[in-house]
Amino acid sequence: MKKALILCACSFACPSMKEINFAELAERIRLELPQDFMLIHPRLCEANGETMLADLLKNDGTVYLTAACKPEKQHKLLRDGFDKAGVEMNEKTFKPVWIQFKNTDQAFEEIKKALEELDK
């Protein structure tokens, strides 16, 4: 199973993400966690985020971990991008990770935990 990590930075300005240093988080993930690729986007729920998801997502056994707001909100906000890509949002393809209102270390631990759960 391929693991793709997509981080939403929420415009790098949202108060709910202000405690996350995305550059530090990305480098720690790259060096310390098993994943096939990682991407940071400033606003996955906007039109160009949906377009990017539509072009990026594939039905090839990849599970997409999306680190962003609450999982329930991610289902709503990212659904169109998944639909346009023809990838169903289910437990085999989509794993939302809640990093909102966390600091860099906490966000890293949430992502690490989610990746470990995939290997079980």
pLDDT in tens, 20-47: 999 999 999 999 999 999 999 999 989 9
Q: Which domain holds residue 95?
A: 2-118
pLDDT band at 84; cut points 50, 70, 90: very high
Domain of residue 72, CATH code: 3.40.50
Is residue 107 pLDDT above 90, yes or no?
yes
Answer yes or no: is pLDDT of 11 > 90: no
Task: Say how many domains are in the chain.
Answer: 1
Q: What is the pLDDT of residue 29?
A: 97
pLDDT above 90: residue 120: no
φ/ψ bin of 102: left (φ > 0), alpha (ψ from -120 to 50), beta (otherwise): beta
For residues 76 and 42, the answer to whether their CB atoms sit within 8 Å is no
Amino acid 17: pLDDT: 94
**Which residues, in sequence order, are CB contacts of 114 under 8 Å at separation 6+?**
65, 95, 97
CA distance 110 to 67: 9
Give the residue-averaged pLDDT of 80-107: 96
pLDDT in tens, 53-64: 999 999 999 999
Mean of the pLDDT values across residues 61-77? Answer: 95
Q: 31 Cβ partners below 8 Å, 6+ apart?
A: none
